[in-house]
Amino acid sequence: MEEEGQRPKLRKRRVRPIIRIIFGIIVVILVIVVIVVLALALRRTSEHEAFKAVFTSRCKAYEGGYDCERTWNAFEQAYVGKDPCMVPPDSYQALMDATPFKPACNRMMFWSKTKNVVHDFTSKRECFITIEDTFLGSLLDGLTWCGKEGSKDTFTSDCPGWTSCVNNTVRSFWNKASASYAEVACGNVSVMLNGSIATPFHPASIFASIEMKNFNPVIMNSLNVVLVTQEKKVSNCSSQSLKDLQKVLDKGIAYSCKEVPESQIQECASQSKTCGSCW
């Protein structure tokens, strides 16, 4: 009888260690959850602060005495707290109004499929200015950013890619900026196109679908196409693609085209810092 009376006590002794183990597991899980939440919060903060630091440093480095905090606030209004796929180009109108593009008559250069060539050239010769050389363009060239619903932060990871959705944060900025830059194009304007592809003037490109549609013949005299070629030419100034360009170009804007080897552009850019024609 004494042994039977002791059995319940033995069971209690066995149950208590199990309860302690379960409690310990729950505590470990809660600690892990807290660590993950804090890590995500710190990551969001670090992404936001790092992006703003790059934005601000670029702003301060650009000549012109721009108000960097005012520019940042206008920029944030476009996308912060929004679905990153629901930011149409007009969301950046306040930014364009706060820091409008300045006309640079006879020096404005556009491009399509020639980014490396044109920027290597403009970095060595100050004869021409691309959108990436302007204040707004220089602030955001090569950067990725987006917002998230319910958040006041800027994110640089897990943002939709250029083709993921039509109204994604980055794509909408460049579409709006390209339209605004084209609107002030004046005098004799140039564009570098790629002569190594079959359609240097592609209807889906930003140049064809946005920039050309915003050229103003009242202030723009001519469009000079610089067709960058390699040893083996795929397209020339007589190609159908360039004929299509002439058809959609406003009749009030004169047109010219010249085939220029890429090696000639590189050589010219390296020879002198002074302005002058390399084609």
In the chain (279 residues long), the average pLDDT of successive 10-residue segments reads 48 62 63 51 72 96 93 97 97 97 96 96 89 97 96 94 94 98 98 97 97 98 96 92 97 96 88 70
135 part of a folded domain: yes
Torsion of CA 16, 17, 20, 25, to 10 degrees: -140
pLDDT at 233: 83
278 within some domain = no
221 located within any domain: yes
Positive or negative torsion for Cα 123, 126, 130, 131 = positive
Q: What is the pLDDT of residue 38?
A: 46
- Tokens, residue 155: 């994110």
Q: How far is Cα 220 from Cα 35, in angstroms, rounded to an integer?
A: 59
Residue 140 placed within a domain: yes
Give the whole-angstrom CA distance, residue 253 versus residue 220.
7
- CA-wise closest residue to 244 among 234, 228, 252, 255: 255
pTM of this prediction exceeds 0.85: no
Residues near 96 by beta carbon (within 8 Å), at least 6 away in sequence: 136, 176, 177, 180
Amino acid at 66: Y
Look at residue 41 in the predicted model and tell me its pLDDT.
47
**Domain containing residue 130:** 2-271
Alpha helices in the chain (DSSP H): 2-61, 68-76, 93-98, 115-124, 135-140, 169-183, 206, 240-248, 262-271
Residue 187 forms part of a structural domain: yes
Residue 115 backbone class (left: φ over 0; alpha: ψ -120 to 50; beta: rest): alpha
Residue type, 78: A
8 A C-beta contact, residue 278 and residue 246: no
Indicate the number of domains in the chain: 1
Residue 33 counted as domain residue: yes
Instruction: Tell me the CA distances in angstroms from 7 to 13, 17, 191, 220, one per residue in order.
Output: 10, 17, 93, 100
Task: Give the C-alpha separation, 61 to 44, whole Å.
Answer: 26
Within a domain: residue 41?
A: yes
Please answer whether residues 30 and 22 qualify as being in contact, where contact means their C-beta atoms are separated by less than 8 angstroms: no
Distance CA 17, CA 32 (A): 23
Q: What CATH number is associated with residue 206?
A: 1.20.82.10
Residue 279 lies in a domain: no
The four Cα atoms 60, 63, 68, 70 give a dihedral, to 10 degrees, of: 180
